[in-house]
Amino acid sequence: MSPIIEVAGVSKAFDSQSVLKNVNFNVNQGEIIGLLGPNGVGKTTFIRILNGVLKSDSGSISILGYNPVSEGDEILKVSGIVTESAGLYGQMSGEENLAFFAELYGVTNKQKIDELLKLFDLQGHKHKNVSTYSTGMKKRLALAKALIHEPQILFLDEPTNGLDPDGIKMVLSYLKKYNQENGTTIMICSHVLHQLEDICHSFAFMEKQTIVEQGSLEELESKYIKDINVKVYTDFLPRESSYFLSFPCRQGEENHVIFTLPSKDRIPFLLQELLKKYKVYAVEMMNNDLESIYFKVREKINE
């Protein structure tokens, strides 16, 4: 599968302040990719360069074969963008906003507006001025606006900022469903790791103004997690600094034991042996989540 976003050696500075350094990056068709990193690392600048709002100082970029510098208008026709500012008109209603952008993009299917209002649970508010909308409603309307012309690519800059837990869950579930049904490529820029773990197919980590690692969760786990910590709720009681079948283990809180295994492939063997003498109520892997991997990546980069 050939990438539809290809970035090679991209750098950017404002005056003498470097913001991006030699960024290399690829995204495949239909992929949801999370662009992750701490605040100030250059994520928003990178998003703006990709959709032609800013020009890089060096390097090359191809978006569906288009160059953002010379063919930015073509990229805008096939992409949807959601930023912190949302880009909505407060004095217009939600329905009027979508109608305006539908006309701007040449969308002739007027039913698309009602479909998106329904999808994002905004039908009951479509006649209200957007200035009266809550933060969550504005975010959902901004996503509807970005999807009005059925883009091939979505660029989302912190799409869940300011949302309560219900709003975050709602927005992420909409994006996952939309990707599955339409195959739209989605790039989500965020510094909140746990929100993206279940929605993204792959992740790119930014550190020191560049992308230092990229891959699926499984690929990153294989590369960075050498020992797996497994929490087992069981009636087995280890002694301090104990071992079970040569696996280090220690007593945790709330009736669980934490085992350290050389790989997750050893979990079935551990459980088989435990069940010969003890009860096992639940099992949970502890240190192979996205956040754990991210900090492993940062440790390596900052060694």
pLDDT at 64: 92
Most confident of 77-86, 162-171, 200-209: 200-209
Write down the mean pLDDT value for the chain: 90
Task: Tell me the per-residue pLDDT of 57-103, one tens digit each, with 9 for 90 and over.
Answer: 999 999 999 998 888 888 888 999 888 766 899 999 999 999 999 99
Q: What does the alpha-carbon distance between residue 44 and residue 136 come to, in Å, rounded to a whole number?
A: 21
The pLDDT of residue 199 is 93
Please state, for a pLDDT cut of 90, what percent of the chain lies above it.
55
- Is the pLDDT at 282 greater than 80? The verdict is yes
pLDDT of the residue at 86: 67
Residues 270 and 262: their CA atoms lie apart, in Å, by: 12
The domains of the chain, with CATH numbers, are 3-221 (3.40.50.300), 226-287 (3.30.70)
Section 294-300 average pLDDT: 86
Residues 36-56, mean pLDDT to the nearest whole number: 88
Non-local CB neighbours of 200 within 8 Å, separated by 6+ positions:
32, 33, 34, 188
Q: How confident is the model at residue 1 (pLDDT cuts 50, 70, 90)?
A: low
Return the pLDDT at 129.
Answer: 95
- How would residue 24 be classed by pLDDT, with cut points 50, 70 and 90? very high
End-to-end distance of the chain based on CA atoms, in angstroms?
34
Packed helices 111-119 and 94-104: angle between N→C axes, nearest 10 degrees: 130
pTM equals 0.86
Taking only the tens place, the pLDDT of each residue in 245-281 is 899 999 987 789 999 999 889 999 999 999 999 999 9
Question: Looking at 61-65, 115-119, 191-195, which range is the least confident one?
Answer: 191-195
> What was the pLDDT predicted at 39?
83
Percent of the chain with pLDDT over 70: 98
How many Cβ atoms are within 10 Å of 106's Cβ, its own excluded? 8
pLDDT at 266: 93
Q: For the residues 107-121, what does the mean pLDDT come to?
A: 89
CB 287 within 8 A of CB 225: yes
Which amino acid type is present at position 121?
D
